[in-house]
Amino acid sequence: MTVIISKGKDPQKAKPCFIHTQVNPHLDRRIICPHCGNEWNFYQIAEEVKLTTRYVQNADGSFTPLSDDSRILGEVKLYCGECQADLSKFHNRFLEMLF
Ligand SMILES: [Zn+2]
């Protein structure tokens, strides 16, 4: 990221000042387990998932799946992959950072 800042009111004296920053905007958003310090392994458990799978029946009577659609009806919880602590309070941030 390059930021250009012009200082001074006199345009002839003002020199552009280049500031290079290496700040990772995601760095302070990393989720770290407050219990064991783990920041690499997490898992999510969705309760009450309704899984709908569409099929087409072929001429020979066999079925071919067309699409899967899953709807989560219950709670979704986030856990530490190391100490299994419930980290659901970080779940919203987890979803924001899920790509
Ligand atoms: Zn942990």
- Determine the distance separating the centroid of ligand 1 and the alpha carbon of 24, expressed in angstroms: 24
Which amino acid is present at 59? A
Q: Is residue 17, in this structure, part of any structural domain at all? A: no
- Determine the distance separating the centroid of ligand 1 and the alpha carbon of 6, expressed in angstroms: 47
> Against a cut of 0.95, is the pTM above it?
no
Using one digit for the tens of pLDDT, what is the confidence trace for 10-30?
A: 555 555 556 555 555 556 779
> What's the CA gap between 17 and 39, in Å, rounded?
37
Q: Is residue 86, in this structure, part of any structural domain at all? A: yes
Domain tally for the chain? Answer: 1
Domain residues for the domain of 49 are 26-96
What are φ and ψ of residue 10, in 5° steps? -80, 115
Q: Is residue 12, in this structure, part of any structural domain at all? A: no
Q: Give residue 12's pLDDT.
A: 59
- Determine the distance separating the centroid of ligand 1 and the alpha carbon of 53, expressed in angstroms: 35
Q: Give residue 18's pLDDT.
A: 62
- Determine the distance separating the centroid of ligand 1 and the alpha carbon of 29, expressed in angstroms: 17
- Determine the distance separating the centroid of ligand 1 and the alpha carbon of 74, expressed in angstroms: 24
Q: Is residue 13, in this structure, part of any structural domain at all? A: no
What does the H/E/C string look like for the chain?
CEEEEECCCCCCCCCEEEEECCCCCCHHHCCCCCCCCCCCCEEEEECCEEEEEEEEECCCCCEEEEEEEEEECCCEEEEECCCCCECHHHHHHHHHCCC
Using one digit for the tens of pLDDT, what is the confidence trace for 24-55?
A: 555 677 999 999 999 999 999 999 999 999 99
Q: Is residue 9, in this structure, part of any structural domain at all? A: no
